[in-house]
């Protein structure tokens, strides 16, 4: 499918801006509901995240003493725009990406990292102890998760022989699901995504029982709402990326919904199955296991391709 | 050594009814023995005042209308009550009981937390007397 | 059987300091000793590992006055150190007057006693010599000096604050 | 290096903090993630109960003391009642003693399950937390059907108990005990085998036997370190003389051992409850007791879910006690936290705090109001109430 819409609409309404924010909130609801059902609870009703966001947006934004005011207000916006921009390069919902060029995978991933970076800066900006520890942890976690996640996404890219997300989508749609060909890559991608989004059990940077809300402790009102929306958007993008790369791509909206739902079920089950890892455990686990396995996988792929070429 | 020991529970929980409920819409039935709102029967009371004396939270006030004819009015404050049922235990004439009906205590006004028990004419008499200026009924303190 | 054994052994150790002793229940022994002997007595109990310190209880014995408000007996504070060994409890009791409520701290011997010592300092106004920490444990930091809530004379802080103000105004 | 580097970096936990369900203040000095020093500050919920006891009669005191703690309410009342009965020279009938033990053990089950959930939550294991609390509802429902209240059962009266059990209730309880036992076995498996959970508990906060003894630890905290302290076994009281319990001991002393000890104690409680229901004798459930209690002093010790609960009651021959001293078990265990915390990671602190099952049950309704314009002023309850009414007028 190829829709030709005005770039401004692409940017502000669909698939960027409004639509993405709403679908993000819907994803949050789905996440909370699924986790609740796994925990034998009823869970929130569908409009809860919307209501939360509206409430937060309507509330007063308190700027604590001793912060850099401009940074404090700009960081949530940067985080959100980063996430939204990344969405433009990704074929959302079965439609083609709004923009694409050779190598947009790298740009998208870079944009996704803006979020964590902003959270880290936001935490370091305030004077509270909790935020500073949260920021340190968030940045530590970013450094340990970015690499394996990237490696995991590189696998399919190398297999497809392109850095263009749209082309990878077509490639995975035509071939067998890469989850079968590169199971390790899939696991690393999912877990890496959870670590990236600070979902449990990798939520040490915002562990409420230790450091209240981590880097975002001092945020309230609009800033907090924007961060939340940004995170939800990132959840949408992350899941879509994994679906595109490992679950046979998305050719139409139905396929998108079904595959994302299936992946979502796995992610929320993983969220509710483990105890929170300490930051040193998370980092250790990833550098020792994740990165190594990612590299092995990559080597195997390269070797396989090489072998294929020789045979051909 | 294992990982994800809870997996079985997760699957089970996902396919069974949730353990929690949508509270204001669905309610559980209170058990028979629940210690709820205090109920007073003025016909049996002889006015020994033991309930008032031993109440740990001063939730009971027994007001005498006519001591000889044993006519008493009880002013009960559910907001102070700790629902210990000591008064029920103490009362030898069984005129105090705890019902299992009231178990949600929230009200926007203070009136709900001042309950009068007794014969209607006695209550009316007492309230009238309290309304008159000059003669002050013992305050709620 | 064993009860008697433990109590006896405890009594034997503390023998030389006992001023008065009393057994109210079969597994309880109360002994009164002088303030100076408290530390060695506790030391000797700990040395042979006779049980553990349960807590320190403070007691207020208000002054006895006659009709003309003359003090017949000055006000006293009593500290009770409860030690338990299985079912047996030895209580070492020390009495001090209001005017000089000084007791040696036993934190050197039993470090965990600090929390109990801080409690009696705050609530009764004991003066524990050489106790490692005298920061407020329970009461607010701005609690008025010299007001000890668990003494019998304390009734209400509001009254006390107002009466103090009146006094200072005079 | 610089001055700033040398400056202490203190992370306060509390008085209001998501890790603590009740107010308490802990200050951890950290170096990176490693804790180098720890201090405790209590008293945020000091309600002056010891003082208040002196102006109420014994019956009122019993209910007041029951409200020292919302989790272990029954043991407080039991300790007080046993002490008063000893002073008055009254012995509660055997059936009453058995029902007291029954309520105490049911309370232990609910308290341990509650703790288990909270500890799981501190470890970021919310699913386990939800499951344990779901199963805890079973025992809460029993307590509600049995006594009429979920939290303050008020089973005791001076000289006996208020409630009786019949065949129907007894069958219900037995059925539920079977269910809970099965669940506990499952949780035991989770606690001892789940890798992620063990990562947070094994070898963390190890308290050696000698240290535990010296610091005066009590209850499961002490027993997990191999210290044989259990009032139910050492000095059996009330119905425990007739229905003895076995002491559960573990030698390791780390957080995992505390989990294991508490879960094993649950088995012991299930067994004891079944035994009581089987063997309980018919008879009276209360005796009369005089309103005026003879002069004297008494010590009453009871094993609360968290450890040894100590009561010292002094009577002066009137209707009101002269002095009531309460020493709650959590107070003894604070020392172990500040001792053990050093050298651990900040992330372990909530788990360590939860490990002793803290319960902030202390004294006065006193509020300190601080504002920039006015000097700080103290308010008592009446003053505060007036202030509140004025403020919202």
Q: From residue C107, give the alpha-carbon distance in Å to each of A37, C46, C131, C132.
A: 53, 12, 6, 7
Beta-sheet pairing, C102-104 with C127-129: parallel
Kindly determine whether residue A275 and residue D19, on different chains, have CB atoms separated by under 8 Å: no
Specify whether the CB–CB gap between D313 and D81 falls below 8 A.
no
Instruction: Determine the Cα–Cα distance for residues B120 and D112; give it in Å rounded to an integer.
Output: 50
Instruction: Determine the Cα–Cα distance for residues B113 and B117; give it in Å rounded to an integer.
Output: 13
Residues of A107-138 as b/e, b for ≥16 C-beta within 10 angstroms?
Answer: bbbebbbbbbbbbbbbbbbbebbbbbbbbbbb
Instruction: Determine the Cα–Cα distance for residues B60 and B6; give it in Å rounded to an integer.
Output: 51
Alpha helices in D73-155 (DSSP H): 73-88, 94-122, 126-147
How many C-beta atoms surround the C-beta of residue D82 within 10 A? 22
pLDDT of residue B48: 84
For range A148-162, the mean pLDDT: 79
3-class DSSP assignment, residue D38: strand
Q: Which residues of D touch B5 (CB under 8 A)?
A: 189-190, 193-194
pLDDT of residue C40: 86
3-class DSSP assignment, residue D66: helix
- Which of B2, B31, B32 comes nearest D195 by C-beta? B2
Torsion of CA A48, A49, A53, A55, to 10 degrees: 20
Alpha helices in chain A (DSSP H): 7-12, 17-38, 48-58, 69-88, 104-125, 129-160, 165-174, 178-181, 183-196, 208-211, 221-246, 253-273, 279-285, 291-311
For range D23-52, the mean pLDDT: 74
Phi/psi for C97 (5° steps) reads -80, 160
The pLDDT tens digits for D324-345 are 888 888 777 777 777 777 777 7
Domain CATH code at residue C14: 3.30.460.80
pLDDT of residue D115: 86
B14 touches chain A (CB under 8 A): yes
The pLDDT tens digits for D80-89 are 899 888 888 8
Specify whether the CB–CB gap between A214 and A130 falls below 8 A.
yes
Phi/psi for A149 (5° steps) reads -60, -45
Kindly determine whether residue D59 and residue B6, on different chains, have CB atoms separated by under 8 Å: no
Q: Where are the beta strands (DSSP E) in chain D?
A: 9-13, 25-31, 34-41, 156-157, 160-161, 296-304, 307-315, 321-327, 367-369, 377-379
B97 touches chain D (CB under 8 A): no
User: Which of the four pLDDT bands, split at 50, 70 and 90, describes residue D372?
Assistant: very low
pLDDT of residue D378: 52
| DSSP element (H, E) containing D387 | helix D381-391
Q: Is the pLDDT of residue D393 over 70?
A: no
A163 touches chain B (CB under 8 A): no
3-class DSSP assignment, residue B24: coil
For range D172-201, the mean pLDDT: 85
Lowest mean pLDDT among B88-92, C31-35, D99-103, D200-204: D200-204
Instruction: Determine the Cα–Cα distance for residues C80 and D375; give it in Å rounded to an integer.
Output: 38
The pLDDT tens digits for D220-276 are 888 888 888 888 888 888 888 888 888 888 888 888 888 888 888 999 999 999 998
User: What are residue B60's DSSP bridge partners?
Assistant: B76
pLDDT of residue D357: 67
Instruction: Determine the Cα–Cα distance for residues C80 and C96; give it in Å rounded to an integer.
Output: 12
Cis amide linkage into residue A201, ω under 30° from 0: yes
Specify whether the CB–CB gap between A280 and A208 falls below 8 A.
no
Residue predicted with more confidence, D347 or D114: D114
For chain C, how many structural domains are there in total? 1
Q: Which residues of D touch C143 (CB under 8 A)?
A: 378
- Cα angle D13, D18, D22; round to 5: 80
* CATH class held by domain D49-327: mainly alpha
Instruction: Determine the Cα–Cα distance for residues A193 and A251; give it in Å rounded to an integer.
Output: 23
Tens of pLDDT along chain B (141 residues) come to 567 677 777 788 788 888 888 887 888 788 888 888 888 888 888 888 888 888 888 888 888 888 788 888 888 888 888 888 888 888 888 888 888 775 677 777 777 778 888 888 778 887 777 777 655 545 444
Residue predicted with more confidence, A64 or D137: D137
Kindly determine whether residue B10 and residue A274, on different chains, have CB atoms separated by under 8 Å: no
Residue listed under structure tokens 């005129």? B95
| DSSP element (H, E) containing D52 | helix D49-53
Instruction: Kindly state whether residue A2 falls inside one of the protein's structural domains.
Output: no
Residue listed under structure tokens 């100076």? C36
Neighbours of chain A (3+ CB pairs under 8 A): B, D
Nearest CA in chain A to D122: A209
User: Is the ipTM above a cut-off of 0.85?
Assistant: no
Instruction: Determine the Cα–Cα distance for residues A137 and A215; give it in Å rounded to an integer.
Output: 9
3-class DSSP assignment, residue D59: helix
Beta-sheet pairing, C64-65 with C52-61: unpaired
Distance from CA of D134 to the nearest CA of B (A): 7
Q: Is the pLDDT of residue D368 over 50?
A: no
The pLDDT tens digits for A191-201 are 888 888 888 77
| DSSP element (H, E) containing D260 | helix D255-279
Count the helices and strands in chain C (H runs, E runs). Answer: 4, 9
Q: Which residues of B touch A38 (CB under 8 A)?
A: 10, 13-14
Instruction: Determine the Cα–Cα distance for residues A284 and D57; give it in Å rounded to an integer.
Output: 61
Cis amide linkage into residue A21, ω under 30° from 0: no
Residue predicted with more confidence, A312 or A221: A221
Residue predicted with more confidence, C2 or A293: A293
User: What are residue D47's DSSP bridge partners?
Assistant: D364
Alpha helices in D123-230 (DSSP H): 126-147, 167-193, 195-201, 209-214, 219-224
**Size (chain A), residues:** 312
> Tokens for B84?
């210990």
Considering A238-252, C109-123, D90-104, the range whose residues carry the highest mean pLDDT is D90-104
User: Which of the four pLDDT bands, split at 50, 70 and 90, describes residue D387?
Assistant: low
Residue predicted with more confidence, D33 or D371: D33
The pLDDT tens digits for A279-299 are 777 777 777 777 777 778 778
Residue predicted with more confidence, C168 or C17: C17
Kindly determine whether residue D124 and residue A203, on different chains, have CB atoms separated by under 8 Å: yes
Q: Which residues of D touch A204 (CB under 8 A)?
A: 347
Distance from CA of D48 to the nearest CA of C (A): 8
Lowest mean pLDDT among A9-13, C23-27, D319-323: A9-13
Among the listed residues D356, D383, D14, D53, the one whose alpha carbon sits nearest the alpha carbon of residue D218: D356
The residues near A114 (Cβ < 8 Å, ≥ 6 apart) are A78, A79, A81, A82, A83
Interface of B with D in 44-63 (CB under 8 A): 53-57
pLDDT of residue D7: 61
Phi/psi for B125 (5° steps) reads -60, -45
Instruction: Determine the Cα–Cα distance for residues D211 and D191; give it in Å rounded to an integer.
Output: 25
User: Which of the four pLDDT bands, split at 50, 70 and 90, describes residue C157?
Assistant: low
Residue listed under structure tokens 């509001």? C158
DSSP state of D205: S
Instruction: Determine the Cα–Cα distance for residues C84 and C7; give it in Å rounded to an integer.
Output: 10
Domain range holding C47?
Answer: 2-169
Phi/psi for C75 (5° steps) reads -65, 145
Q: Which residues of B touch A36 (CB under 8 A)?
A: 18
pLDDT of residue D296: 86
Instruction: Determine the Cα–Cα distance for residues C133 and D325; give it in Å rounded to an integer.
Output: 22
- Which of B6, B35, B82 comes nearest D148 by C-beta? B35
For range D162-182, the mean pLDDT: 88
Distance from CA of A126 to the nearest CA of D (A): 15
Q: Which residues of B touch A273 (CB under 8 A)?
A: 4, 6-7, 10
Q: Which residues of C touch D366 (CB under 8 A)?
A: 139-140, 157
pLDDT of residue C162: 55
Considering A32-36, C16-20, D70-74, the range whose residues carry the highest mean pLDDT is A32-36
Instruction: Determine the Cα–Cα distance for residues D193 and A275; give it in Å rounded to an integer.
Output: 12
Distance from CA of B30 to the nearest CA of D (A): 9
pLDDT of residue B139: 47
The residues near A22 (Cβ < 8 Å, ≥ 6 apart) are none
How big is chain C by its Cα radius of gyration, in Å?
18
How many C-beta atoms surround the C-beta of residue D245 within 10 A? 19
Interface of D with B in 40-79 (CB under 8 A): 56-57, 59-60, 62-64, 66-67
Q: Where are the beta strands (DSSP E) in C27-104?
A: 28-32, 52-61, 64-65, 71-73, 76-85, 88-97, 102-104
Specify whether the CB–CB gap between A188 and A297 falls below 8 A.
yes
pLDDT of residue D384: 58
Three-class DSSP labels, C142-169 = CCCCCCCCCCCCCCCHHHHHHHHHHHHH
Phi/psi for B140 (5° steps) reads -70, -5
Instruction: Determine the Cα–Cα distance for residues D192 and D202; give it in Å rounded to an integer.
Output: 9
DSSP state of A67: S
Among the listed residues D288, D297, D316, D315, the one whose alpha carbon sits nearest the alpha carbon of residue D90: D288
Domain range holding A211?
Answer: 7-311
**What is chain D's mean pLDDT, rounded?**
80
Distance from CA of D214 to the nearest CA of A (A): 29
Q: Is the pLDDT of residue C88 over 70?
A: yes
First and final C-alpha spacing in chain D: 57
pLDDT of residue D220: 86
User: Which of the four pLDDT bands, split at 50, 70 and 90, describes residue D375?
Assistant: very low
DSSP state of C130: T
Instruction: Give the CB-side neighbour count of residue C153, counting CA atoms within 13 A.
Output: 15
B20 touches chain A (CB under 8 A): yes
Among the listed residues D1, D8, D13, D2, the one whose alpha carbon sits nearest the alpha carbon of residue D354: D13
CATH number of B31-131: 3.30.70.3270
DSSP state of D286: B
Instruction: Determine the Cα–Cα distance for residues A231 and A247; give it in Å rounded to an integer.
Output: 23
D292 touches chain B (CB under 8 A): no
Q: Which residues of D touch B55 (CB under 8 A)?
A: 60
Instruction: Determine the Cα–Cα distance for residues D163 and D154; give it in Å rounded to an integer.
Output: 9
């Amino acid at each position: 499918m190829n829709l030709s819409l005005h770039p401004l609409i692409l940017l502000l309404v669909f698939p960027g801006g409004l639509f993405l924010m709403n679908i993000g909130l819907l994803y949050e609801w789905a996440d909370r509901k699924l986790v609740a059902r796994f925990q034998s609870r009823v869970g929130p009703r569908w409009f809860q995240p919307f209501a939360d966001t509206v409430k937060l947006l309507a509330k007063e934004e308190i700027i604590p003493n001793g912060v850099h005011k401009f940074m404090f207000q700009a960081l949530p916006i940067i985080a959100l725009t980063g996430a939204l921009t990344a969405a433009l390069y990704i074929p959302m919902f079965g439609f083609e990406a709004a923009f694409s060029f050779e190598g947009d995978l790298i740009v998208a991933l870079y944009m996704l990292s803006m979020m964590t970076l902003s959270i880290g800066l936001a935490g370091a900006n305030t004077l509270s102890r909790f935020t500073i520890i949260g920021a340190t942890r968030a940045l530590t976690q970013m450094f340990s998760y970015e690499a394996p996640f990237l490696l995991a996404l590189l696998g399919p890219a190398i297999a497809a022989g392109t850095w263009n997300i749209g082309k990878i989508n077509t490639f995975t749609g035509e071939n067998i699901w890469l989850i079968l060909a590169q199971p390790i890559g899939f696991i690393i991608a999912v877990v890496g995504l959870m670590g990236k989004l600070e979902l449990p059990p990798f939520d040490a940077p915002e562990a409420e029982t230790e450091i209240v809300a981590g880097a975002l402790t001092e945020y309230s009102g609009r800033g907090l709402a924007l961060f939340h929306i940004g995170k939800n958007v990132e959840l949408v993008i992350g899941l879509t990326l994994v679906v595109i790369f490992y679950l046979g791509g998305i050719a139409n909206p139905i396929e998108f919904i079904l595959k994302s739902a299936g992946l979502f079920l796995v992610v929320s089950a993983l969220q509710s199955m483990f105890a929170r890892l300490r930051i040193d455990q998370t980092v250790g686990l990833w550098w020792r296991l994740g990165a190594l396995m990612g590299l092995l996988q990559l080597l195997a792929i390269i070797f396989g391709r090489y072998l294929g070429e020789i045979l051909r | 050594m294992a990982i994800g020991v809870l997996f079985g529970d997760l699957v089970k929980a996902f396919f069974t009814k949730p353990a929690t409920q949508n509270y204001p819409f669905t309610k559980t039935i209170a058990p028979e023995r629940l210690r709820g709102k205090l109920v007073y029967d003025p016909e049996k009371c002889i006015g020994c005042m033991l309930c008032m004396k031993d109440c740990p939270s001063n939730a009971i006030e027994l007001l005498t209308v006519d001591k000889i004819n044993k006519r008493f009015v009880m002013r009960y404050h559910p907001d102070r009550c700790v629902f210990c049922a000591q008064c029920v235990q103490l009362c030898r004439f069984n005129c105090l009981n705890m019902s299992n009906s009231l178990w949600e205590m929230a009200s926007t006004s203070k009136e709900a937390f001042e309950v009068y028990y007794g014969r209607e004419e006695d209550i009316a008499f007492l309230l009238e007397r309290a309304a008159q200026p000059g003669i002050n009924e013992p305050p709620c303190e | 059987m064993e009860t008697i054994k433990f109590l006896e052994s405890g009594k034997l150790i503390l023998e030389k300091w006992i001023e008065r002793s009393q057994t109210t229940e079969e597994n309880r022994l109360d002994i009164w000793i002088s303030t100076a002997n408290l530390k060695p007595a506790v030391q000797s109990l700990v040395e042979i590992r006779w049980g553990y310190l349960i807590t320190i209880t403070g007691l207020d014995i208000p002054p006895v006055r006659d009709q003309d408000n003359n003090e017949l007996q000055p006000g006293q504070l009593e500290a009770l150190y409860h030690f338990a060994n299985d079912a047996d409890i030895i209580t070492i009791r020390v009495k001090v007057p209001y005017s000089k409520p000084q007791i040696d701290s036993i934190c050197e011997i039993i470090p965990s006693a600090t929390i109990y010592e801080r409690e009696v300092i705050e609530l009764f106004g004991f003066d524990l010599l050489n106790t490692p920490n005298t920061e407020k444990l329970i009461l607010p930091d701005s609690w008025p000096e010299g007001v000890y809530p668990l003494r019998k004379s304390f009734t209400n802080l509001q009254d006390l604050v107002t009466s103090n103000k009146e006094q200072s105004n005079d | 290096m610089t001055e700033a580097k040398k400056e202490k970096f203190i992370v306060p936990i509390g008085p209001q903090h998501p890790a603590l369900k009740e107010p308490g203040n802990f200050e951890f000095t950290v170096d990176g993630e490693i804790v180098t020093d720890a201090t405790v500050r209590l008293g945020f919920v000091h309600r002056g109960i010891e003082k208040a006891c002196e102006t109420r009669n014994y019956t009122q005191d019993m209910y007041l003391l029951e409200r020292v703690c919302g989790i272990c309410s029954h043991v407080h009342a039991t300790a007080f009642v046993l002490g008063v009965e000893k002073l008055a020279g009254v012995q509660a009938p055997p059936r009453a003693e058995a029902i007291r033990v029954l309520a105490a053990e049911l309370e232990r089950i609910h308290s341990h399950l509650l703790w288990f959930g909270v500890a799981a939550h501190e470890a970021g294991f919310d699913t386990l937390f939800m499951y344990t609390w779901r199963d805890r509802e079973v025992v809460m429902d029993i307590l509600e059907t049995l006594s009429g209240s979920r939290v303050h059962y008020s089973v005791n009266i001076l000289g006996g108990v208020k409630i009786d059990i019949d065949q129907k209730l007894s069958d219900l309880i037995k059925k539920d005990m079977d269910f809970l036992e099965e669940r506990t076995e499952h949780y035991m498996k989770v606690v001892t085998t789940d890798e992620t959970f063990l990562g947070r508990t094994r070898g963390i906060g190890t308290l050696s036997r000698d240290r535990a003894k010296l610091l005066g630890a009590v209850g499961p905290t002490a027993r997990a370190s191999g210290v044989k302290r259990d009032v139910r076994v050492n000095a059996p009281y009330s119905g425990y003389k007739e229905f003895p319990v076995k002491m559960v001991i573990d030698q390791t002393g780390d957080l995992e051992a505390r989990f294991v000890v508490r879960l094993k104690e649950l088995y012991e409680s299930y067994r004891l409850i079944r035994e009581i229901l089987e063997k309980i004798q018919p008879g009276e459930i209360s005796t009369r007791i005089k309103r005026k209690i003879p002069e004297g002093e008494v010590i009453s010790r009871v094993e609360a879910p968290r450890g040894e609960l100590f009561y010292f009651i002094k009577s002066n021959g009137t209707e009101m006690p002269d002095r009531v001293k309460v020493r709650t078990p959590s107070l003894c265990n604070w020392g172990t936290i500040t001792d053990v915390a050093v050298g651990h990671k900040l992330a372990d602190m909530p788990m360590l705090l939860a490990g002793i099952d803290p319960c902030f049950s202390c004294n006065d309704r006193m509020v300190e109001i601080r504002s920039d314009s006015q000097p700080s002023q103290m308010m008592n309850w009446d003053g505060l109430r007036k202030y509140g009414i004025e403020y919202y007028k």
